[in-house]
Chains A and B, each alone.
Chain A
Protein backbone atom coordinates (compact mmCIF):
# COMPACT_ATOMS: atom_id res chain seq x y z
CA UNK A 1 0.00 0.00 0.00
CA UNK A 2 2.75 2.37 0.94
CA UNK A 3 4.55 1.52 -2.29
CA UNK A 4 1.45 2.28 -4.31
CA UNK A 5 1.03 5.61 -2.58
CA UNK A 6 4.65 6.38 -3.24
CA UNK A 7 4.19 5.55 -6.91
CA UNK A 8 1.16 7.79 -7.16
CA UNK A 9 3.07 10.55 -5.42
CA UNK A 10 5.97 10.23 -7.86
CA UNK A 11 3.62 10.33 -10.84
CA UNK A 12 1.96 13.43 -9.50
CA UNK A 13 5.30 15.12 -8.93
CA UNK A 14 6.54 14.27 -12.40
CA UNK A 15 3.32 15.57 -13.92
CA UNK A 16 3.81 18.82 -12.07
CA UNK A 17 7.39 19.09 -13.21
CA UNK A 18 6.63 18.14 -16.80
CA UNK A 19 3.92 20.76 -17.02
CA UNK A 20 5.01 23.32 -19.49
CA UNK A 21 4.86 26.87 -18.22
CA UNK A 22 1.46 28.30 -19.00
CA UNK A 23 1.36 29.05 -22.68
CA UNK A 24 -1.81 31.06 -22.32
CA UNK A 25 -1.15 34.48 -23.82
CA UNK A 26 0.11 37.03 -21.34
CA UNK A 27 -2.83 39.35 -20.61
CA UNK A 28 -2.82 42.97 -21.69
CA UNK A 29 -1.88 44.96 -18.58
CA UNK A 30 -3.53 48.34 -18.07
CA UNK A 31 -3.25 50.64 -15.07
CA UNK A 32 -3.73 54.34 -14.29
CA UNK A 33 -6.48 56.92 -13.94
CA UNK A 34 -9.66 56.14 -12.04
CA UNK A 35 -11.48 58.56 -14.36
CA UNK A 36 -10.55 56.55 -17.45
CA UNK A 37 -11.08 53.21 -15.69
CA UNK A 38 -14.81 52.84 -16.50
CA UNK A 39 -14.12 53.23 -20.24
CA UNK A 40 -11.20 50.79 -20.24
CA UNK A 41 -13.20 48.37 -18.13
CA UNK A 42 -16.10 48.52 -20.56
CA UNK A 43 -13.82 47.97 -23.57
CA UNK A 44 -11.97 45.13 -21.81
CA UNK A 45 -15.29 43.50 -20.93
CA UNK A 46 -16.56 43.57 -24.52
CA UNK A 47 -13.14 42.57 -25.88
CA UNK A 48 -13.16 39.52 -23.63
CA UNK A 49 -16.76 38.60 -24.44
CA UNK A 50 -16.10 38.81 -28.17
CA UNK A 51 -13.24 36.33 -27.73
CA UNK A 52 -10.52 38.93 -28.12
CA UNK A 53 -8.41 37.93 -25.14
CA UNK A 54 -7.55 38.71 -21.55
CA UNK A 55 -7.15 42.26 -20.30
CA UNK A 56 -6.55 43.30 -16.69
CA UNK A 57 -7.14 46.83 -15.48
CA UNK A 58 -5.91 48.48 -12.28
CA UNK A 59 -6.50 51.87 -10.69
CA UNK A 60 -3.38 53.66 -9.46
CA UNK A 61 -4.29 57.21 -10.50
CA UNK A 62 -2.84 58.92 -13.57
CA UNK A 63 0.48 59.64 -11.81
CA UNK A 64 0.76 56.22 -10.20
CA UNK A 65 -0.08 54.59 -13.52
CA UNK A 66 2.72 56.45 -15.31
CA UNK A 67 5.18 55.38 -12.61
CA UNK A 68 4.45 51.73 -13.41
CA UNK A 69 4.20 52.35 -17.15
CA UNK A 70 7.64 53.97 -17.31
CA UNK A 71 9.15 50.99 -15.50
CA UNK A 72 7.76 48.82 -18.28
CA UNK A 73 5.38 47.06 -15.89
CA UNK A 74 2.25 47.79 -17.91
CA UNK A 75 1.35 47.81 -21.62
CA UNK A 76 -1.13 50.67 -21.48
CA UNK A 77 -1.55 53.59 -19.07
CA UNK A 78 -4.92 55.29 -18.54
CA UNK A 79 -4.49 59.06 -18.14
CA UNK A 80 -6.91 61.91 -17.46
CA UNK A 81 -4.30 64.50 -18.47
CA UNK A 82 -1.36 64.62 -20.89
CA UNK A 83 1.93 63.11 -19.72
CA UNK A 84 4.11 65.50 -17.67
CA UNK A 85 7.74 66.37 -18.36
CA UNK A 86 8.80 64.50 -15.21
CA UNK A 87 7.07 61.39 -16.52
CA UNK A 88 8.50 61.82 -20.02
CA UNK A 89 11.95 61.78 -18.41
CA UNK A 90 11.09 58.73 -16.30
CA UNK A 91 9.91 56.85 -19.39
CA UNK A 92 13.10 57.76 -21.24
CA UNK A 93 15.18 56.54 -18.32
CA UNK A 94 13.14 53.34 -18.22
CA UNK A 95 13.61 52.83 -21.95
CA UNK A 96 9.87 53.01 -22.58
CA UNK A 97 8.60 54.58 -25.80
CA UNK A 98 4.92 55.23 -26.15
CA UNK A 99 2.11 56.49 -28.35
CA UNK A 100 -0.49 58.90 -26.99
CA UNK A 101 -4.08 58.19 -28.06
CA UNK A 102 -7.12 60.33 -27.23
CA UNK A 103 -10.18 58.29 -26.36
CA UNK A 104 -12.93 60.60 -25.06
CA UNK A 105 -13.82 63.95 -23.54
CA UNK A 106 -14.80 64.64 -19.98
CA UNK A 107 -16.25 67.83 -18.56
CA UNK A 108 -15.30 68.96 -15.09
CA UNK A 109 -18.45 70.12 -13.35
CA UNK A 110 -18.29 72.87 -10.73
CA UNK A 111 -21.18 72.31 -8.35
CA UNK A 112 -22.77 73.99 -5.36
CA UNK A 113 -25.49 73.10 -2.90
CA UNK A 114 -29.11 73.49 -4.19
CA UNK A 115 -29.78 75.92 -1.30
CA UNK A 116 -27.17 78.19 -2.80
CA UNK A 117 -29.45 80.73 -4.49
CA UNK A 118 -26.89 83.41 -5.12
CA UNK A 119 -24.52 81.83 -7.61
CA UNK A 120 -25.76 82.17 -11.21
CA UNK A 121 -22.36 81.61 -12.81
CA UNK A 122 -18.69 81.92 -11.89
CA UNK A 123 -15.88 83.28 -14.01
CA UNK A 124 -12.51 81.57 -14.29
CA UNK A 125 -11.01 84.50 -12.31
CA UNK A 126 -13.53 83.99 -9.51
CA UNK A 127 -12.72 80.29 -9.39
CA UNK A 128 -9.03 81.15 -9.24
CA UNK A 129 -9.67 83.58 -6.39
CA UNK A 130 -11.29 80.70 -4.55
CA UNK A 131 -8.74 77.96 -5.30
CA UNK A 132 -5.35 79.64 -5.73
CA UNK A 133 -2.69 78.97 -3.07
CA UNK A 134 -2.92 82.60 -1.84
CA UNK A 135 -6.56 82.00 -0.94
CA UNK A 136 -5.56 79.59 1.79
CA UNK A 137 -6.90 80.84 5.10
CA UNK A 138 -7.92 84.15 3.49
CA UNK A 139 -10.89 83.55 1.18
CA UNK A 140 -13.41 82.03 3.55
CA UNK A 141 -16.72 83.72 2.70
CA UNK A 142 -18.75 83.99 -0.48
CA UNK A 143 -18.88 87.81 -0.43
CA UNK A 144 -15.10 87.83 -0.85
CA UNK A 145 -15.64 86.28 -4.29
CA UNK A 146 -18.22 88.78 -5.51
CA UNK A 147 -19.47 91.64 -3.37
CA UNK A 148 -23.18 90.98 -3.95
CA UNK A 149 -22.85 87.39 -2.65
CA UNK A 150 -23.93 86.89 0.99
CA UNK A 151 -21.43 86.57 3.83
CA UNK A 152 -21.92 82.79 3.91
CA UNK A 153 -18.98 80.46 4.71
CA UNK A 154 -17.41 78.64 1.77
CA UNK A 155 -16.75 74.93 2.17
CA UNK A 156 -14.53 73.57 -0.60
CA UNK A 157 -14.41 69.98 -1.83
CA UNK A 158 -12.01 68.61 -4.43
CA UNK A 159 -10.02 65.57 -5.49
CA UNK A 160 -6.69 64.63 -3.87
CA UNK A 161 -3.28 65.39 -5.29
CA UNK A 162 -2.72 62.00 -6.98
CA UNK A 163 -5.66 62.64 -9.25
CA UNK A 164 -5.40 63.79 -12.87
CA UNK A 165 -8.60 65.77 -12.31
CA UNK A 166 -6.80 67.81 -9.65
CA UNK A 167 -3.86 68.42 -12.00
CA UNK A 168 -6.12 69.47 -14.84
CA UNK A 169 -8.34 71.79 -12.81
CA UNK A 170 -5.43 73.53 -11.09
CA UNK A 171 -3.63 73.94 -14.40
CA UNK A 172 -6.49 75.67 -16.23
CA UNK A 173 -7.83 77.62 -13.25
CA UNK A 174 -4.70 78.48 -11.26
CA UNK A 175 -2.32 78.49 -14.21
CA UNK A 176 -0.02 75.79 -12.91
CA UNK A 177 -0.71 72.10 -12.40
CA UNK A 178 -0.94 70.99 -8.75
CA UNK A 179 -0.89 74.61 -7.58
CA UNK A 180 -3.81 74.80 -5.19
CA UNK A 181 -4.84 75.93 -1.76
CA UNK A 182 -4.56 73.06 0.65
CA UNK A 183 -7.30 73.82 3.15
CA UNK A 184 -10.15 72.05 1.40
CA UNK A 185 -11.72 68.64 1.94
CA UNK A 186 -9.90 66.28 -0.41
CA UNK A 187 -10.98 62.80 -1.39
CA UNK A 188 -10.01 60.42 -4.16
CA UNK A 189 -13.55 59.12 -4.02
CA UNK A 190 -15.79 61.53 -5.95
CA UNK A 191 -18.91 60.23 -4.20
CA UNK A 192 -17.48 61.64 -0.97
CA UNK A 193 -17.21 65.04 -2.67
CA UNK A 194 -20.81 64.73 -3.88
CA UNK A 195 -21.96 64.01 -0.31
CA UNK A 196 -19.91 66.92 1.00
CA UNK A 197 -21.37 69.53 -1.33
CA UNK A 198 -24.89 68.10 -1.03
CA UNK A 199 -24.80 68.47 2.74
CA UNK A 200 -23.22 71.92 3.21
CA UNK A 201 -25.05 75.06 2.25
CA UNK A 202 -21.96 77.05 1.32
CA UNK A 203 -20.27 74.08 -0.33
CA UNK A 204 -18.54 74.11 -3.70
CA UNK A 205 -16.70 71.26 -5.39
CA UNK A 206 -15.45 70.02 -8.72
CA UNK A 207 -15.37 66.56 -10.27
CA UNK A 208 -16.21 64.65 -13.44
CA UNK A 209 -19.47 65.46 -15.20
CA UNK A 210 -20.76 61.88 -14.78
CA UNK A 211 -20.88 62.33 -11.01
CA UNK A 212 -22.98 65.46 -11.38
CA UNK A 213 -25.38 63.79 -13.82
CA UNK A 214 -25.97 60.87 -11.46
CA UNK A 215 -26.67 63.27 -8.58
CA UNK A 216 -28.30 66.19 -10.39
CA UNK A 217 -31.22 66.20 -7.94
CA UNK A 218 -28.96 66.94 -4.99
CA UNK A 219 -26.51 69.37 -6.58
CA UNK A 220 -26.64 72.56 -8.57
CA UNK A 221 -24.24 72.89 -11.45
CA UNK A 222 -22.50 76.24 -11.95
CA UNK A 223 -22.10 77.65 -15.48
CA UNK A 224 -18.49 78.72 -16.01
CA UNK A 225 -17.56 81.87 -17.86
CA UNK A 226 -14.29 81.63 -19.70
CA UNK A 227 -13.63 83.83 -22.71
CA UNK A 228 -17.24 83.97 -23.98
CA UNK A 229 -20.58 83.56 -22.27
CA UNK A 230 -21.16 81.52 -19.13
CA UNK A 231 -21.80 77.93 -20.22
CA UNK A 232 -23.13 75.00 -18.19
CA UNK A 233 -21.50 71.62 -18.82
CA UNK A 234 -23.43 69.03 -20.81
CA UNK A 235 -22.58 66.42 -23.42
CA UNK A 236 -23.24 68.97 -26.18
CA UNK A 237 -21.29 71.87 -24.74
CA UNK A 238 -18.35 69.58 -23.95
CA UNK A 239 -18.36 68.12 -27.45
CA UNK A 240 -18.68 71.41 -29.34
CA UNK A 241 -15.98 72.97 -27.20
CA UNK A 242 -18.09 75.82 -25.83
CA UNK A 243 -17.71 74.56 -22.24
CA UNK A 244 -14.21 75.89 -21.94
CA UNK A 245 -11.78 75.68 -20.27
CA UNK A 246 -13.08 72.85 -18.06
CA UNK A 247 -13.45 70.21 -20.79
CA UNK A 248 -10.55 67.87 -21.11
CA UNK A 249 -9.54 64.99 -23.31
CA UNK A 250 -8.85 61.57 -21.78
CA UNK A 251 -5.97 59.45 -23.02
CA UNK A 252 -4.45 56.05 -23.12
CA UNK A 253 -0.68 55.74 -23.53
CA UNK A 254 0.46 52.61 -25.32
CA UNK A 255 3.90 51.08 -24.91
CA UNK A 256 5.43 50.92 -28.43
CA UNK A 257 7.35 47.78 -27.63
CA UNK A 258 4.24 45.95 -26.44
CA UNK A 259 2.42 47.12 -29.54
CA UNK A 260 5.07 45.47 -31.70
CA UNK A 261 5.83 42.32 -29.71
CA UNK A 262 2.45 41.50 -28.15
CA UNK A 263 -0.13 41.05 -30.89
CA UNK A 264 -2.87 41.07 -28.26
CA UNK A 265 -2.01 44.65 -27.29
CA UNK A 266 -2.32 45.91 -30.87
CA UNK A 267 -5.59 44.02 -31.25
CA UNK A 268 -6.93 45.47 -28.01
CA UNK A 269 -6.01 49.07 -28.83
CA UNK A 270 -7.63 48.75 -32.26
CA UNK A 271 -10.76 47.33 -30.62
CA UNK A 272 -10.62 50.15 -28.07
CA UNK A 273 -10.66 52.88 -30.70
CA UNK A 274 -13.37 51.18 -32.75
CA UNK A 275 -15.68 50.83 -29.76
CA UNK A 276 -14.83 53.89 -27.68
CA UNK A 277 -17.56 56.04 -29.31
CA UNK A 278 -20.40 53.87 -28.01
CA UNK A 279 -18.79 52.54 -24.85
CA UNK A 280 -17.48 55.88 -23.55
CA UNK A 281 -20.97 57.39 -23.93
CA UNK A 282 -22.49 54.41 -22.16
CA UNK A 283 -20.36 54.93 -19.03
CA UNK A 284 -21.02 58.67 -18.89
CA UNK A 285 -18.36 60.37 -21.02
CA UNK A 286 -18.47 62.33 -24.24
CA UNK A 287 -17.12 60.60 -27.36
CA UNK A 288 -14.65 62.39 -29.61
CA UNK A 289 -15.55 63.33 -33.19
CA UNK A 290 -15.13 60.29 -35.45
CA UNK A 291 -12.06 61.65 -37.26
CA UNK A 292 -10.16 61.77 -33.96
CA UNK A 293 -10.61 58.01 -33.57
CA UNK A 294 -9.46 57.47 -37.13
CA UNK A 295 -6.40 59.58 -36.40
CA UNK A 296 -5.73 57.38 -33.38
CA UNK A 297 -6.07 54.22 -35.44
CA UNK A 298 -3.59 55.44 -38.03
CA UNK A 299 -1.16 56.35 -35.21
CA UNK A 300 -0.97 52.78 -33.98
CA UNK A 301 -0.57 51.12 -37.39
Chain B
Protein backbone atom coordinates (compact mmCIF):
# COMPACT_ATOMS: atom_id res chain seq x y z
CA UNK B 1 0.00 0.00 0.00
CA UNK B 2 1.41 3.35 -0.96
CA UNK B 3 1.76 5.80 1.87
CA UNK B 4 -0.67 8.17 0.19
CA UNK B 5 -3.35 5.50 0.10
CA UNK B 6 -2.68 4.75 3.75
CA UNK B 7 -3.07 8.41 4.57
CA UNK B 8 -6.35 8.54 2.74
CA UNK B 9 -7.63 5.45 4.58
CA UNK B 10 -6.58 6.94 7.88
CA UNK B 11 -8.47 10.06 6.97
CA UNK B 12 -11.65 8.14 6.27
CA UNK B 13 -11.22 6.01 9.37
CA UNK B 14 -10.83 9.03 11.58
CA UNK B 15 -13.90 10.62 10.11
CA UNK B 16 -15.94 7.54 10.92
CA UNK B 17 -14.48 7.28 14.42
CA UNK B 18 -15.33 10.94 15.06
CA UNK B 19 -18.84 10.46 13.78
CA UNK B 20 -19.30 7.39 16.00
CA UNK B 21 -18.04 9.30 19.03
CA UNK B 22 -20.49 12.09 18.36
CA UNK B 23 -23.43 9.78 17.91
CA UNK B 24 -22.56 7.71 20.95
CA UNK B 25 -23.22 10.61 23.31
CA UNK B 26 -26.30 11.60 21.39
CA UNK B 27 -27.63 8.05 21.41
CA UNK B 28 -27.25 7.73 25.16
CA UNK B 29 -29.09 11.02 25.61
CA UNK B 30 -31.88 9.97 23.29
CA UNK B 31 -32.33 6.63 25.06
CA UNK B 32 -32.41 8.40 28.42
CA UNK B 33 -34.94 10.98 27.27
CA UNK B 34 -37.19 8.38 25.65
CA UNK B 35 -37.06 6.23 28.77
CA UNK B 36 -37.94 9.16 31.02
CA UNK B 37 -40.74 10.30 28.72
CA UNK B 38 -42.27 6.83 28.61
CA UNK B 39 -42.22 6.65 32.40
CA UNK B 40 -43.32 10.11 33.24
CA UNK B 41 -45.03 11.90 30.38
CA UNK B 42 -48.51 10.84 31.44
CA UNK B 43 -47.92 12.58 34.77
CA UNK B 44 -47.36 15.98 33.19
CA UNK B 45 -50.52 18.02 33.46
CA UNK B 46 -52.05 20.99 35.19
CA UNK B 47 -52.50 19.08 38.47
CA UNK B 48 -48.86 18.02 38.53
CA UNK B 49 -47.80 21.66 38.60
CA UNK B 50 -50.41 22.83 41.07
CA UNK B 51 -50.29 20.06 43.69
CA UNK B 52 -48.09 19.63 46.71
CA UNK B 53 -46.30 16.32 47.34
CA UNK B 54 -48.53 13.57 48.62
CA UNK B 55 -48.34 10.02 49.92
CA UNK B 56 -50.55 9.03 47.01
CA UNK B 57 -48.31 9.00 43.94
CA UNK B 58 -51.11 9.82 41.52
CA UNK B 59 -52.02 12.95 43.49
CA UNK B 60 -48.51 14.15 44.18
CA UNK B 61 -47.25 17.24 42.40
CA UNK B 62 -44.28 19.52 42.15
CA UNK B 63 -45.79 22.88 43.15
CA UNK B 64 -43.50 23.53 46.11
CA UNK B 65 -40.54 22.16 44.14
CA UNK B 66 -40.79 24.30 41.01
CA UNK B 67 -41.72 27.45 42.91
CA UNK B 68 -38.80 26.78 45.27
CA UNK B 69 -36.50 26.31 42.27
CA UNK B 70 -37.54 29.71 40.90
CA UNK B 71 -37.02 31.38 44.28
CA UNK B 72 -33.59 29.84 44.59
CA UNK B 73 -32.64 30.85 41.04
CA UNK B 74 -33.66 34.47 41.62
CA UNK B 75 -31.78 34.63 44.91
CA UNK B 76 -28.71 33.09 43.31
CA UNK B 77 -28.88 35.58 40.45
CA UNK B 78 -29.24 38.57 42.81
CA UNK B 79 -25.96 37.71 44.51
CA UNK B 80 -23.93 35.95 41.84
CA UNK B 81 -24.45 38.29 38.87
CA UNK B 82 -23.31 41.65 40.35
CA UNK B 83 -20.46 40.03 42.27
CA UNK B 84 -19.36 37.94 39.31
CA UNK B 85 -19.46 40.71 36.72
CA UNK B 86 -17.91 43.18 39.15
CA UNK B 87 -14.92 41.04 39.93
CA UNK B 88 -14.60 40.02 36.29
CA UNK B 89 -14.38 43.69 35.25
CA UNK B 90 -11.92 44.47 38.02
CA UNK B 91 -9.62 41.59 37.22
CA UNK B 92 -9.69 42.17 33.47
CA UNK B 93 -9.72 45.95 33.20
CA UNK B 94 -8.27 47.41 36.40
CA UNK B 95 -6.06 44.93 38.20
CA UNK B 96 -2.35 45.13 37.55
CA UNK B 97 -0.69 41.88 36.80
CA UNK B 98 1.35 40.94 39.82
CA UNK B 99 1.81 37.97 42.12
CA UNK B 100 -1.29 38.86 44.09
CA UNK B 101 -3.63 38.93 41.10
CA UNK B 102 -2.03 35.76 39.77
CA UNK B 103 -2.80 34.18 43.11
CA UNK B 104 -6.43 35.32 42.94
CA UNK B 105 -6.74 34.05 39.38
CA UNK B 106 -5.42 30.61 40.22
CA UNK B 107 -7.83 30.40 43.13
CA UNK B 108 -10.83 31.38 41.07
CA UNK B 109 -9.94 28.79 38.47
CA UNK B 110 -9.58 26.25 41.26
CA UNK B 111 -12.89 27.20 42.84
CA UNK B 112 -14.63 26.46 39.57
CA UNK B 113 -13.51 22.85 39.95
CA UNK B 114 -14.40 22.29 43.61
CA UNK B 115 -17.10 19.61 43.99
CA UNK B 116 -20.46 21.14 44.82
CA UNK B 117 -20.95 19.16 48.01
CA UNK B 118 -18.00 21.08 49.50
CA UNK B 119 -19.93 24.31 48.95
CA UNK B 120 -22.82 22.67 50.79
CA UNK B 121 -20.64 21.93 53.81
CA UNK B 122 -19.26 25.47 53.76
CA UNK B 123 -22.80 26.85 53.54
CA UNK B 124 -24.00 24.63 56.38
CA UNK B 125 -21.31 26.03 58.67
CA UNK B 126 -21.33 29.63 57.48
CA UNK B 127 -24.86 30.55 56.42
CA UNK B 128 -27.05 28.02 58.20
CA UNK B 129 -25.31 27.80 61.57
CA UNK B 130 -23.09 30.90 62.01
CA UNK B 131 -25.37 33.44 60.35
CA UNK B 132 -28.51 31.68 61.62
CA UNK B 133 -30.22 31.76 58.26
CA UNK B 134 -31.52 28.25 58.93
CA UNK B 135 -32.71 26.19 55.93
CA UNK B 136 -33.99 29.27 54.17
CA UNK B 137 -34.23 30.34 50.54
CA UNK B 138 -31.53 32.90 51.32
CA UNK B 139 -29.10 30.27 52.63
CA UNK B 140 -29.71 28.01 49.63
CA UNK B 141 -29.40 30.88 47.16
CA UNK B 142 -26.17 32.10 48.72
CA UNK B 143 -24.60 28.65 48.50
CA UNK B 144 -25.50 28.28 44.84
CA UNK B 145 -24.30 31.85 44.23
CA UNK B 146 -20.88 30.90 45.60
CA UNK B 147 -20.96 27.79 43.46
CA UNK B 148 -21.56 29.62 40.17
CA UNK B 149 -19.54 32.74 41.00
CA UNK B 150 -16.25 31.45 39.53
CA UNK B 151 -18.00 30.47 36.31
CA UNK B 152 -19.50 33.95 35.93
CA UNK B 153 -16.20 35.65 36.73
CA UNK B 154 -14.31 33.54 34.21
CA UNK B 155 -16.87 34.04 31.45
CA UNK B 156 -17.03 37.79 32.10
CA UNK B 157 -13.27 38.01 31.75
CA UNK B 158 -13.36 35.91 28.62
CA UNK B 159 -16.01 38.20 27.16
CA UNK B 160 -14.11 41.40 27.99
CA UNK B 161 -10.89 39.98 26.63
CA UNK B 162 -12.51 39.35 23.27
CA UNK B 163 -13.33 43.04 22.88
CA UNK B 164 -10.49 44.38 20.69
CA UNK B 165 -8.23 46.97 22.28
CA UNK B 166 -8.79 49.29 19.32
CA UNK B 167 -12.26 50.00 20.74
CA UNK B 168 -10.77 51.03 24.08
CA UNK B 169 -8.06 53.10 22.46
CA UNK B 170 -10.59 54.93 20.29
CA UNK B 171 -12.62 55.74 23.36
CA UNK B 172 -9.60 57.03 25.28
CA UNK B 173 -8.57 59.07 22.25
CA UNK B 174 -11.89 60.88 22.46
CA UNK B 175 -11.13 61.78 26.06
CA UNK B 176 -13.29 59.21 27.84
CA UNK B 177 -12.28 58.07 31.30
CA UNK B 178 -11.63 54.45 32.07
CA UNK B 179 -15.06 53.95 33.62
CA UNK B 180 -16.78 55.72 30.71
CA UNK B 181 -14.91 53.46 28.33
CA UNK B 182 -15.95 50.36 30.19
CA UNK B 183 -19.51 51.50 30.76
CA UNK B 184 -20.24 52.70 27.20
CA UNK B 185 -17.91 50.68 25.01
CA UNK B 186 -16.46 47.53 26.49
CA UNK B 187 -19.44 46.26 28.50
CA UNK B 188 -22.01 46.69 25.71
CA UNK B 189 -19.64 45.02 23.28
CA UNK B 190 -19.10 42.05 25.57
CA UNK B 191 -22.67 41.93 26.87
CA UNK B 192 -23.85 38.99 24.76
CA UNK B 193 -21.04 36.71 25.86
CA UNK B 194 -21.42 37.75 29.50
CA UNK B 195 -25.12 36.95 29.37
CA UNK B 196 -24.40 33.58 27.78
CA UNK B 197 -21.97 32.80 30.61
CA UNK B 198 -24.52 33.80 33.23
CA UNK B 199 -27.27 31.66 31.74
CA UNK B 200 -24.98 28.63 31.48
CA UNK B 201 -23.92 29.16 35.10
CA UNK B 202 -27.55 29.41 36.22
CA UNK B 203 -28.54 26.30 34.31
CA UNK B 204 -25.83 24.48 36.22
CA UNK B 205 -27.29 25.76 39.49
CA UNK B 206 -30.81 24.59 38.56
CA UNK B 207 -29.78 20.95 38.66
CA UNK B 208 -27.65 21.06 41.79
CA UNK B 209 -28.83 18.71 44.54
CA UNK B 210 -25.82 17.85 46.67
CA UNK B 211 -25.18 21.23 48.36
CA UNK B 212 -28.86 21.69 49.14
CA UNK B 213 -29.19 18.20 50.56
CA UNK B 214 -26.12 18.91 52.70
CA UNK B 215 -27.82 21.86 54.36
CA UNK B 216 -30.91 19.70 54.82
CA UNK B 217 -33.32 21.43 52.47
CA UNK B 218 -36.73 19.90 52.96
CA UNK B 219 -38.49 17.20 51.07
CA UNK B 220 -42.06 17.65 52.28
CA UNK B 221 -43.24 21.20 52.39
CA UNK B 222 -46.91 21.95 51.87
CA UNK B 223 -46.66 25.70 51.40
CA UNK B 224 -44.75 28.22 49.31
CA UNK B 225 -42.33 30.93 50.41
CA UNK B 226 -44.22 34.13 51.26
CA UNK B 227 -44.94 36.04 48.09
CA UNK B 228 -42.97 39.30 47.86
CA UNK B 229 -46.07 41.17 46.72
CA UNK B 230 -49.53 40.53 48.08
CA UNK B 231 -52.80 42.36 47.65
CA UNK B 232 -55.42 43.03 50.27
CA UNK B 233 -58.81 44.69 50.58
CA UNK B 234 -57.69 47.32 53.08
CA UNK B 235 -55.20 50.13 52.86
CA UNK B 236 -52.38 50.07 51.85
CA UNK B 237 -53.76 47.43 49.43
CA UNK B 238 -50.35 46.34 48.24
CA UNK B 239 -48.00 44.65 50.67
CA UNK B 240 -44.38 44.01 49.97
CA UNK B 241 -42.46 41.52 52.00
CA UNK B 242 -39.01 40.03 52.12
CA UNK B 243 -40.20 37.21 54.36
CA UNK B 244 -40.03 34.75 51.46
CA UNK B 245 -36.24 34.81 51.54
CA UNK B 246 -36.30 33.48 55.09
CA UNK B 247 -38.88 30.76 54.47
CA UNK B 248 -38.02 27.07 54.11
CA UNK B 249 -37.99 25.61 50.63
CA UNK B 250 -37.50 22.57 48.48
CA UNK B 251 -36.31 22.35 44.87
CA UNK B 252 -37.00 20.04 41.92
CA UNK B 253 -33.85 17.89 42.17
CA UNK B 254 -34.52 17.18 45.87
CA UNK B 255 -38.13 16.24 45.17
CA UNK B 256 -37.00 13.92 42.37
CA UNK B 257 -34.32 12.41 44.61
CA UNK B 258 -36.93 11.71 47.27
CA UNK B 259 -39.40 10.09 44.86
CA UNK B 260 -36.77 7.88 43.24
CA UNK B 261 -36.01 6.24 46.58
CA UNK B 262 -39.62 5.37 47.46
CA UNK B 263 -40.81 1.75 47.22
CA UNK B 264 -44.09 2.41 45.36
CA UNK B 265 -43.76 2.33 41.57
CA UNK B 266 -46.10 5.29 41.19
CA UNK B 267 -43.49 7.60 42.68
CA UNK B 268 -41.01 6.57 39.99
CA UNK B 269 -43.46 7.95 37.41
CA UNK B 270 -43.69 11.15 39.46
CA UNK B 271 -39.89 11.32 39.55
CA UNK B 272 -39.77 10.87 35.77
CA UNK B 273 -42.32 13.67 35.41
CA UNK B 274 -40.16 15.91 37.57
CA UNK B 275 -37.11 15.02 35.48
CA UNK B 276 -38.95 16.04 32.30
CA UNK B 277 -39.77 19.43 33.83
CA UNK B 278 -36.17 19.89 34.97
CA UNK B 279 -34.89 18.87 31.52
CA UNK B 280 -37.26 21.36 29.92
CA UNK B 281 -36.01 24.18 32.17
CA UNK B 282 -32.36 23.35 31.43
CA UNK B 283 -33.02 23.01 27.71
CA UNK B 284 -34.83 26.36 27.68
CA UNK B 285 -31.97 28.11 29.47
CA UNK B 286 -29.29 26.56 27.28
CA UNK B 287 -31.34 27.39 24.20
CA UNK B 288 -31.60 31.00 25.35
CA UNK B 289 -27.84 31.09 25.85
CA UNK B 290 -27.17 29.80 22.35
CA UNK B 291 -29.67 32.23 20.84
CA UNK B 292 -28.12 35.20 22.63
CA UNK B 293 -24.66 34.18 21.61
CA UNK B 294 -25.77 33.91 18.01
CA UNK B 295 -27.64 37.21 18.10
CA UNK B 296 -24.81 39.14 19.70
CA UNK B 297 -22.07 37.75 17.57
CA UNK B 298 -19.97 40.70 16.47
CA UNK B 299 -17.33 40.76 13.80
CA UNK B 300 -14.58 43.24 14.42
Genuine A/B complex:
yes
Categorize the interface residue count of chain B. Answer: 20 to 34
Known: A191-B260, A210-B263, A214-B264. A38 touches B55 (CB 8 A): yes
Give bound CA distance, A37 to B135, whole Å.
18
Contact B263 A57 (CB under 8 A): no
Q: Tell me the chain B residues, 267-288 only, with Cβ under 8 Å from chain A.
A: none
Q: Does A286 contact B (CB under 8 A)?
A: no
Contact A55 B222 (CB under 8 A): yes
Residue of A whose beta carbon sits closest to that of B248: A56
Q: Does A19 contact B (CB under 8 A)?
A: yes
Residue of B whose beta carbon sits closest to that of A68: B216
- How many residue pairs bridge A and B at CB < 8 Å? 87
Contact B262 A58 (CB under 8 A): no
Q: Tell me the chain A residues, 43-75 only, with Cβ under 8 Å from chain B.
A: 44-45, 48, 54-60, 64, 68, 73
Contact B240 A283 (CB under 8 A): no
Tell me the minimal C-beta distance from B228 to chain A in angstroms.
10
Give bound CA distance, A40 to B220, whole Å.
9
Q: Tell me the chain B residues, 106-154 only, with Cβ under 8 Å from chain A.
A: 134-135
Tell me the minimal C-beta distance from B288 to chain A in angstroms.
31
Tell me the minimal C-beta distance from A297 to chain B in angstroms.
22
Contact B261 A41 (CB under 8 A): no
Q: Does B265 contact A (CB under 8 A)?
A: yes
Tell me the minimal C-beta distance from B210 to chain A in angstroms.
13
Contact A60 B216 (CB under 8 A): yes
Q: Does B181 contact A (CB under 8 A)?
A: no
Q: Does B95 contact A (CB under 8 A)?
A: no
Give bound CA distance, A211 to B243, whole Å.
40
- A residues near B242, Cβ cutoff 8 Å: 16
Known: A41-B53, A283-B55. A11 touches B220 (CB 8 A): no
Partner of A54, one of B223, B262, B263: B223
- B residues near A31, Cβ cutoff 8 Å: 216
- A residues near B53, Cβ cutoff 8 Å: 41, 45
Q: Does B241 contact A (CB under 8 A)?
A: yes
Can you list, as one digit per residue, whether each of A6-46 has a CB less than 8 Å from chain B (1) or not (0)?
00000110011001011000010001001001101110110
Can you list, as one digit per residue, whether each of A261-301 has a CB less than 8 Å from chain B (1) or not (0)?
00000000000000000010011100000000000000000
- A residues near B263, Cβ cutoff 8 Å: 190-191, 208, 210-211, 213-215, 284
- Top 4 nearest A-B pairs by Cβ distance? A57-B220, A42-B55, A214-B263, A189-B261
Can you name 12 A-B pairs with beta carbons within 8 Å? A16-B240, A19-B240, A27-B223, A45-B220, A54-B222, A55-B220, A60-B216, A190-B261, A211-B263, A214-B265, A284-B263, A284-B264
